[in-house]
């Protein structure tokens, strides 16, 4: 039985895998037909053949549309690997034709946009024929893109642990609590986390690494942060803190200019700054092409040189 199934699965076509991927991506048969420029009956037929081969249902209906079953997810992961392998094949052939060119797809968590683009720009000046694709998202989005082989590698904080990765530290990543300059706690020393229990905290969205760090900080003292507002970007959080809407735990690298010119102030909290690290991360089974490897090596060697400078002390 097992050998018969393995033989049947070996006959699965790339077209069928792409039909499954398009169906899950769009959530409907008609949406998949539009994505692949075929008719809905053609999509239904290919899905039926694929399910007959697998011997299991591959999609199920949910409120949000069609989604993969456990069996469907296995085939969907295989589809992602096939597409990534084909793209790597194209990149490898291009690299053979022109070793100085090629394409690199880099992901980064949104906090890294305060230094990583300058690092990439420095690499691009030395390698003008390299095509770079940049994807910016929160921690959850970046991990998902890595898992699905959509990225060569990513710049992020805490690496994922749900699949095997190769990771290298490129520099320290301090986190601090900022407040408007006229906040009553500015200038106080050794503030306890419990003293902030009634403060309104401005937090990033679910999936953000900074939000997870904030929740962990309060969990350690048995408190829940008082959430004043959930905000989807560091820039908006900075503006909201300056406007007096609350305080925030945030990467020191995102607020270096505002601390320098006095638009924001750092609170002297016990245990802060919390110093994490910046990593460059890739799947362990992701084979880098020569151009991608060159950028990886550049980030490992020089990434720390591009980290923002900040004053590691609160105002007195």
Q: What angle do CA 59, 34, 145 make, to 5 degrees?
A: 60
Q: Which residues pair with 154 in a beta bridge?
A: 107, 281
Buried b (16+ CB within 10 A) or exposed e, 117-145: bebbeebbeebeebebeeebbbbbbbbeb
- Cα-Cα-Cα-Cα dihedral sign, residues 128, 131, 135, 139: negative
Residues of the chain whose pLDDT is less than 50? none
What's the Cα-to-Cα distance from 200 to each of 76, 149, 207, 224, 226, rounded to whole Å?
Answer: 43, 39, 20, 11, 5
Q: Can you give the pLDDT at residue 12?
A: 84
CB 111 within 8 A of CB 254: yes
Q: Which of 241, 223, 236, 231 has its CA nearest to residue 176?
A: 241
| Residue 308 pLDDT | 80
Tell me what pLDDT residue 225 has.
Answer: 76
Per-residue pLDDT, 167: 96
The domains found in the chain, sorted by start residue, are 2-76 (1.10.10.10), 79-171+277-306 (3.40.190.10), 172-275 (3.40.190.10)
The pLDDT of residue 310: 65
pLDDT tens, 149-181? 999 999 998 899 889 999 999 999 899 999 999
Dihedral (Cα; 202, 206, 207, 213), 10-degree rounding: 40
Separation of alpha carbons 88 and 215, rounded Å: 39
Predicted pLDDT of residue 6 = 60
pLDDT value of residue 121? 93
Report if pTM > 0.75: no
Task: Please tell me the predicted confidence (pLDDT) of residue 93.
Answer: 73
Per-residue pLDDT of 271-282, as tens digits, reads 888 888 999 999
């Amino acid at each position: 039985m097992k050998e018969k199934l393995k033989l049947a699965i070996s006959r699965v076509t790339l077209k069928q895998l792409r039909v499954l991927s398009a169906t899950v991506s769009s959530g409907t048969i008609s949406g998949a037909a539009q994505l692949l420029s075929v008719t809905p009956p053609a999509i239904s037929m290919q899905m039926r053949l694929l399910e007959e081969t697998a011997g299991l249902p591959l999609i199920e209906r949910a409120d949000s549309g069609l989604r993969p079953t456990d069996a469907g997810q296995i085939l969907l992961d295989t589809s992602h690997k096939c597409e990534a392998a084909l793209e790597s094949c194209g990149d490898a052939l291009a690299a053979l034709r022109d070793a100085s060119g090629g394409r690199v797809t880099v992901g980064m968590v949104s906090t890294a946009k305060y230094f990583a683009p300058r690092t990439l720009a420095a690499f691009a000046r030395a390698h003008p024929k390299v095509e770079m694709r940049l994807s910016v998202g929160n921690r959850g989005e970046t991990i998902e893109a890595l898992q699905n082989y959509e990225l060569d590698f990513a710049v992020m904080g805490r690496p994922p642990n749900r699949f095997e990765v190769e990771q290298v530290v490129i520099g320290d990543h301090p986190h601090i609590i900022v407040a408007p300059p006229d906040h009553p706690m500015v200038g106080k020393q050794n503030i306890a986390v419990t003293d902030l229990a009634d403060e309104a905290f401005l937090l990033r969205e679910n999936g953000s690494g900074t939000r997870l760090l904030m929740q962990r900080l309060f969990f350690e003292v048995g408190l829940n942060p008082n959430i004043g507002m959930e905000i989807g970007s560091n820039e908006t959080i900075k503006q909201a803190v300056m406007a007096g809407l609350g305080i925030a735990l945030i990467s020191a690298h995102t607020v270096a200019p505002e601390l320098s010119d006095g638009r924001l102030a750092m609170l002297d909290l016990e245990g802060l700054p919390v110093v994490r690290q910046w990593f460059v991360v890739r799947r362990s089974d992701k084979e880098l092409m020569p151009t991608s490897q060159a950028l990886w090596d550049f980030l490992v060697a020089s990434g720390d040189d591009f980290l923002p400078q900040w004053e590691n002390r609160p105002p007195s």
